Amino acid sequence: MIVVSDATPLIALAKLHHLALLRELFGNLYIPQAVYDEVTVSAPARAGANAVRRADWIQARDPVDKSRVAYLRADLDPGEAEALVLVEELAADWVLIDEIKARLTAESLGIKYIGTVGLLLLAKQRGYGSAIRPLLVHCALANFTSVTVSTTVFYARLGNSNIPVMLASRLSRGSP
C-alpha cells in the first residue's frame, strides 16, 4: 500500500507519542519535501521533528509536476498541495490529511483520504491500539488545530459517559 502524508497527522500523532502507528499500519510512508521541511526545518523543536528526521520508513520526495503544485497552491498550503500531487504521481492509495479545504480538494480529485482521528480508529480496528478514548480526548482537550473530533464520531465510537465537562463543551460548540 502506498500512502502519502501531510504534516498535521504526523505532528498530531507525534504529540500523542503514537507516530509509530503509521509504520505499523502502512510500513513505508511518503511525504513531500514541503511537509518534511514544515515538520523538521521550520520548527525544529516541534513535536515529531526528531522522530521524522530519524525515521527510515518515512521517505521525502519532491513532486515532479511543479505547475500542478502551483495551481493547487491557490487554495492550499505548500505541504497540502505537494501531498496531493505526490499522491497522483505515485498512484498512492491514501493521503493522510486533516484540513477541511485539502480534504475537499482531495475528494474533488478522486483521492482517498484519512485524518488523524480516522487513523486512530483504524489502528484500533487492526489491533494496534486498545485505548483510543484517551487519545481522542487528548486531541480535543489539547485543541489540536485541524484535528477535529466531531460530536457524532466521539459519541458513536466512545459513548457519552464520563466525558469531561470541558470536552463536552467544546464538542457541543463544534470545535476540536
Residue 15, domain CATH: 3.40.50.1010
pLDDT, tens digit, 9 for 90 and up, residues 16-55: 888 988 999 999 999 999 999 999 998 878 777 888 999 9
Q: What is the DSSP string of 132-161?
A: -HHHHHHHHHTT-TT----HHHHHHHH-ST
Q: So what's the pLDDT on residue 116?
A: 85
Residue 122 lies in a domain: no
Residues 168 and 111 in one domain: no
- Same domain for 102 and 24? yes
Please write the tens of the pLDDT for every residue from 92-117. Answer: 999 999 898 999 999 999 999 998 88
User: Would the pLDDT of 133 be above 90?
Assistant: no
Residue 89 lies in a domain: yes
Domain count, the chain: 2
- Highest mean pLDDT out of 45-54, 99-108, 138-147, 156-165: 99-108
Q: Are residues 38 and 69 in the same domain?
A: yes
Q: What is the residue range of 134's domain?
A: 129-173
Q: Report CA torsion sign: 47, 111, 92, 35.
A: negative
Q: Are residues 15 and 86 in the same domain?
A: yes
- List residues bridging with 4 in a β-sheet: 30, 95
pLDDT greater at residue 174 or residue 6? 6
CA atoms of 67 and 168, how far apart (whole Å) = 44
Which residue(s) pair with 113 in the sheet?
Answer: 95
pTM of structure: 0.78
| Domain membership flag for residue 123 | no
Which residues are registered as beta bridge partners of 30?
4, 59
- Answer whether residue 36 is part of any domain: yes
For residue 123, name the pLDDT band (cuts at 50, 70, 90): confident
Query: Does some domain include residue 92?
Result: yes
**Residues 97 and 34 both lie in one domain:** yes
